Chains A and B, each alone.
Chain A
């Protein structure tokens, strides 16, 4: 089953909409609560990344009886060094974003920790695509 969500850069008040919705869906499907927790945390972090860094993005969620596959595709500045971005504490977030309690440099490491598979590709000045897979 497929679900699609639009995410707007800078709109922090709506950040977390997709992850909250996904949580409700997975609850209905009786997925193990521990797995739901991991999926939701991973998606939430990735969602906030788009809001904090990109101009806009699309989240596509594909659920079957084996896995939840999430693809987040954004138009934005892209990531010059993915290796650096994956380090805990590394952040390019603006002071404005940090003031709101985001941008601690834990986003990508947290996604990696909670996803069973995580792939990330990025082009500077074009955008970033993050793929998150969790087995259910």
Chain B
């Protein structure tokens, strides 16, 4: 089982930029954020790297850890492993060929697409579906969903697909390709162009698999800007490279909502958006759903086109990828050499995914009961309108924090007022502990309180 104190995360708060508001606090699906000393603080054991905090942050204070383009030049063979949503950022007058060319101009020697292994992978998933007893089977395409299940639905970890990700299978195929050419793995760097922080974490700290074949990740946002620049000069530059566009129509649309589900075995559903997914998993957890075979769940609205590192509008990306897919179909498929992705089933299986050891109120039932009584007692006194003024997302979470000695009841300004125990100065100290010094002074330059 994972060690609770050492979870790798791609997301971190830039404390200098954070203005201490309640936007991320309120939007975190696992309630992992608290405000401490005027800035957001993420609880490592329950953060799932979904990127919702990044999406809602006004101050651009939520950052991700990622590699930079310069680092690729340490390798003789530099592979860009791209998701199809990258092409989906561009208008159709930019051809896939041009995007590949631009990537070569940026320094990559080879370009492969993540979804190249999709049709192979789904066969393995169908085999897995036939062998497992747990229904519905939950797709592991979206790493944020895997972590959501580990943190919030521990009893459903047994329903997760235990097959390697597309990124990993494609990477295996890439290394195989190079091996055939007699190239040593030490000379190859595979860089994944990521549409979201969750995929960075999936690569750096995989849950089921032990290791990854990916060298590093680079943000799709960064690469998009660089490609845009290269596109301006691309027509004057004549470069030769190995053109390899192998995707089928289905694979182009794999990362869109419904792209995977329709190829799974039996009755399947596709659900996107964390709130929708959580609502449905609650039902599955209640045993209220027993006749669905496959669940394609994606954390972002519109799936990967809604990834927090995708600069384009998600609805337009969906439309553009649909158009690209139909173009692909129009082309004679025989022009393209089919990739040789064919591994034995055992080679793409991964060990079971375990729940994160995030207990309820306490591991001992008697202690947990006492704590629960206290929590309920506190909630009787708290105002119950979940303002976030205490630095916790809602009154219930605050009561839990107090019971777990992570917060003081006096952080609630309304309790301060109704109890009238604290003098004004003392009360102010509690507020400053949460919101930082001088927060209550007149300040016409602050970033909050603006339209």
Given contacts A28-B360, A30-B361, contact A16 B288 (CB under 8 A): yes
Query: In the assembly, what is the distance between CA of A65 and CA of B371, in Å?
Result: 12
A27 within 8 A of B: yes
Minimum distance in angstroms from A28 CB to a CB of chain B: 4
A106 within 8 A of B: no
CB pair A136 B365 closer than 8 Å: yes
Query: In the assembly, what is the distance between CA of A28 and CA of B376, in Å?
Result: 13
Give every chain A residue within 8 A of B346 (Cβ-Cβ).
none
A80 within 8 A of B: no
Give every chain B residue within 8 A of A28 (Cβ-Cβ).
360-361, 368, 372
Give every chain B residue within 8 A of A19 (Cβ-Cβ).
286
Of A33-41, A70-78, A123-131, which stretch is located at the interface? A33-41
CB pair B287 A41 closer than 8 Å: yes
CB pair B286 A25 closer than 8 Å: no
B363 within 8 A of A: yes
CB pair B365 A30 closer than 8 Å: yes
CB pair B372 A1 closer than 8 Å: yes
Of residues 18 to 55 in A, which have CB atoms within 8 Å of B's CB atoms? 19-20, 23, 25, 27-31, 33, 36-37, 40-41, 44
Of residues 226 to 244 in B, which have CB atoms within 8 Å of A's CB atoms? none
A: interface residue count bin: 20 to 34
A93 within 8 A of B: no
Give every chain B residue within 8 A of A1 (Cβ-Cβ).
369, 372-373, 376
Give every chain A residue within 8 A of B360 (Cβ-Cβ).
27-30
CB pair A29 B369 closer than 8 Å: yes
Query: In the assembly, what is the distance between CA of A20 and CA of B373, in Å?
Result: 19
Binding site secondary structure of chain A: helix
Contact residue among A29, A40, A64 (Cβ-Cβ distance under 8 Å from B286): A40
CB pair A31 B365 closer than 8 Å: yes
- Which residue on chain B has the smallest CB distance to residue A41? B287
Query: In the assembly, what is the distance between CA of A76 and CA of B69, in Å?
Result: 72
Minimum distance in angstroms from B77 CB to a CB of chain A: 48
Minimum distance in angstroms from A29 CB to a CB of chain B: 4
CB pair A29 B361 closer than 8 Å: yes
CB pair B369 A16 closer than 8 Å: no
Binding site secondary structure of chain B: helix
CB pair A65 B286 closer than 8 Å: no
A97 within 8 A of B: no
B282 within 8 A of A: yes
CB pair B287 A33 closer than 8 Å: no
CB pair B286 A20 closer than 8 Å: yes
Minimum distance in angstroms from B358 CB to a CB of chain A: 10
B6 within 8 A of A: no
B387 within 8 A of A: no
Give every chain B residue within 8 A of A31 (Cβ-Cβ).
365
A86 within 8 A of B: no
Minimum distance in angstroms from A131 CB to a CB of chain B: 21
Most A-side CB within 10 Å, residue of B155, B363, B376 = B155
Query: In the assembly, what is the distance between CA of A44 and CA of B290, in Å?
Result: 15
Chain B 284-309 interface mask (CB, 8 Å, partner A; 1/0): 01111000000000000000000000
Chain B 358-384 interface mask (CB, 8 Å, partner A; 1/0): 011111111011001100100000000
B154 within 8 A of A: yes
Query: In the assembly, what is the distance between CA of A36 and CA of B286, in Å?
Result: 10
CB pair B155 A33 closer than 8 Å: yes
Given contacts A1-B373, A1-B376, contact A30 B368 (CB under 8 A): yes
Give every chain B residue within 8 A of A118 (Cβ-Cβ).
none
- Which residue on chain B has the smallest CB distance to residue A30? B360
Interface residues in chain A, defined as those with a beta carbon under 8 Å from any beta carbon in chain B: 1, 16, 19-20, 23, 25, 27-31, 33, 36-37, 40-41, 44, 63-65, 136
22 A-B pairs (CB sep. < 8 Å):
A1-B369, A1-B376, A19-B286, A23-B285, A23-B286, A25-B372, A28-B368, A29-B365, A29-B369, A30-B360, A30-B361, A30-B363, A30-B364, A30-B368, A33-B154, A41-B287, A44-B286, A44-B287, A65-B365, A65-B366, A65-B369, A136-B365
Q: 5 closest pairs, A vs B, by CB?
A: A28-B360, A65-B366, A29-B368, A30-B360, A33-B155
Contacts A30-B359, A33-B155, A44-B286 known; list 9 others, CB within 8 Å.
A20-B282, A28-B372, A29-B368, A29-B372, A30-B360, A30-B365, A30-B368, A33-B154, A40-B287
